[in-house]
Structure 1
Amino acid sequence: MKYLILTGLLVFLSACGAKQNESRQQARQNESGSAQRVERLDPYSAPLHRAQKKATATDFEVTLLNGETFRLSEQKGKVVLINIWATWCPPCRDETPDLVDLHEKYKDEGYLTLGVSIDEQGESVVRPFMEEYGVTYPMYIDSDGTVMEKYGPTMGIPTTYIIGRQGNLRYFAVGAVTKKELEPRIKELLAEGN
């Protein structure tokens, strides 16, 4: 019971921390006028922030839940969405059906979703979650912090990164992102070609 209360408090604080940081950032942008405004397509989605500078996504190599090796740099030519999440996170649960739909819809066009679970219980909770939600995209359990070391620390979960065909970080979001917010950006990046 103590663990559940603590977990709930951490989720609440993570979400609040992300909202406070977003509010502070917007206030600073309004004051300075120099930061680019985030175009939101869905008011129910976390905003997707466009990368302001060209930056190559940090490479990593991991062994997926299905036993295959995944190396980010070998995905060049594809649009890759990296979603850092956990089974105990309600916003993560909310966005999963949209991530599954997008993966299925665009996987034959050069799009790939990679799930990165930070669940400490590992496969015992991730596999049942994948079955319940029909997750078909590759999944990695980041028990040793391989991905979080390169893409963290995050302000909260879920955290999403979208990498373009050339291997550059193009968008990121903290919080649940909807299909309505993601799909136009994915289509835009897929249209850029190789």
Structure 2
Amino acid sequence: MKLKIIAALAVIALVAAGFFVFQQKPAAPDVAFPTLEGQTFRTADLRGKVVLVNFWATTCTSCIKEMPALKATQEKFEARGYQTVAVAMDYDPPAQVATFVERNDLPFTFVLDRDGSIARGFDGVRLTPTSFIVNRRGEIVQKILGEPKLDALHALIEKLLAEPA
């Protein structure tokens, strides 16, 4: 009888431990982000901020369509520690990306994924737009395929900004 109780408690403990392990959010990959201006920063440099990492391309109509909403989101939350990192895919010519950025007044950090390493690091992204929401601790909270639903995105950002780093 005593052995059965100990075995049952062990099973409960293992199930509980598994529950907490599966609740843990994956860390954002440690990648280098080369900006259009020739600077480079790493994922760790974003710690302390809530970040939307948006994979896009100049030839993607949905990507271009979502830019005004992403701009409004950046402007709404920037002062509270929110940042948008727009990652141009490796197949997008850098000159074409630079021209797009020059023609549009977008307050993002634009980076070039020249060799596909950023996309590979973020779960092998190939479809655009694809976005990842990263919390202040550098954990991926959500992956968004396609254009985000703005109300849901804003609610999530509000929640994440309220959490401690």
TM-score normalized by the length of structure 1: 0.68
Q: CA shift at 1:100, angstroms? A: 1.2
Q: Of 70, 90, 93, which aligns to 2:64?
A: 93
Contact 1:95 1:178 in 2 (8 A): no
Q: Of 46, 57, 63, which aligns to 2:34?
A: 63
Question: Alpha carbons of 1:137 and 1:179: their partners in 2 closer, same or farther (altered >3 Å)?
Answer: same
Distance 1:122 1:59 in 2: 24
Moved more, 156-165 or 123-132: 123-132
- Deviant stretches of 4+, over 6 Å: none
Give SS of 2:36's match.
coil
Contact 1:87 1:119 in 2 (8 A): no
Supply the AA of the counterpart residue of 2:65. Answer: D
Q: Of 133, 141, 146, which aligns to 1:175?
A: 146
- Paired position in structure 1 for 2:121: 150
Q: Which sections of structure 1, spanning at least 5 residues, go unmatched? A: 1-50
Q: Of 68, 76, 85, which aligns to 1:114?
A: 85
Q: Which sections of structure 2, spanning at least 5 residues, go unmatched? A: 1-21
TM-score normalized by the length of structure 2: 0.79
Q: Of 118, 131, 155, which aligns to 1:184?
A: 155
Distance 2:127 2:141 in 1: 19
Give SS of 1:120's match.
coil
- Paired position in structure 2 for 1:137: 108
Supply the AA of the counterpart residue of 1:79. Answer: V
Structure 1 vs Structure 2: percent identity of aligned residues? Answer: 33
- Alpha-carbon deviations, 1:88-138, whole Å to 9, x = none? 111101111111111122122111100001153423211222233312211
Distance 1:133 1:183 in 2: 23
Question: Alpha carbons of 1:82 and 1:121: their partners in 2 closer, same or farther (altered >3 Å)?
Answer: closer
Q: CA shift at 1:155, angstroms? A: 5.8
Supply the AA of the counterpart residue of 1:181. Answer: A
RMSD across aligned C-alpha pairs, in angstroms?
1.8
Question: Alpha carbons of 1:175 and 1:52: their partners in 2 closer, same or farther (altered >3 Å)?
Answer: farther
Supply the AA of the counterpart residue of 2:151. Answer: K
Give SS of 2:159's match.
helix
Supply the AA of the counterpart residue of 2:157. Answer: I
Distance 1:173 1:125 in 2: 25
